[in-house]
Amino acid sequence: MAGKLNFSLVAPEREIFAGSVDQVDAPGVEGDFGVLPGHAPFMTTLREGVVTVYDGAQRRRFDVKGGFADVNGEGLSILAEEASEIVEG
């Protein structure tokens, strides 16, 4: 594995998540996709769904409503219209 993936999840009002993680799964308009470190540059719009962030044994889930994912050399950023963390119960 090529190190960690820089991931940030930002909503218009604030930054929801920023940090290095192992893997992120996101709901793209043309199908869900997973991003690992070193992913090729890629851009897509998102549909409503759940973004899952994997870091080690930890897993965090976020509800997102529309937005964009941008994967480039620096990592993955998701610009969501609305986003909130799902508290696991």
Partner 1 sequence: MASLKEMRNRIGSVKATQKITKAMQMVAAAKLKRAQEQAENARPYATRMASVIANLAAGVGDDGPRLMTGTGADQKHLVVVATADKGLAGGFSTNVIRAARDHINSLIANGKTVEIVAVGRKSRDQLTRLFGDKVVKTFELSEHKTVGLHAAQPIAELLAEKFEADEADKVTLFYSQFKSVISQVPSSRQLAPAEVDVDASADAGALYEYEPSEEEILETLLPRNLTTQILAALLENQAGFFGAQMAAMDNATRNAGDLINSLTLQYNRKRQAQITTELIEIIAGAEAL
What is the residue type of 2? A
Which of the residues 25 through 84 are near partner 1 (CB under 8 A)?
A: 28-30, 40-45, 68, 70, 72-74, 77, 79, 81
Residue with tokens 């963390």: 85
Q: Are 21 and 5 in contact (CB under 8 A)?
A: yes
Please give the structure tokens belonging to residue 14: 């604030």
Q: Is 11 in the site for partner 1 (CB under 8 A)?
A: yes
Distance in angstroms (rounded) separating the CA atoms of residues 82 and 89: 21
The distance of closest approach from Cβ of residue 79 to partner 1 in the complex, given in angstroms and rounded to an integer, is 6
When the beta carbons of 30 and 88 are compared against partner 1, the nearer one is 30
Interacting residue ranges for partner 1, rule: CB under 8 A: 8, 10-15, 28-30, 40-45, 68, 70, 72-74, 77, 79, 81
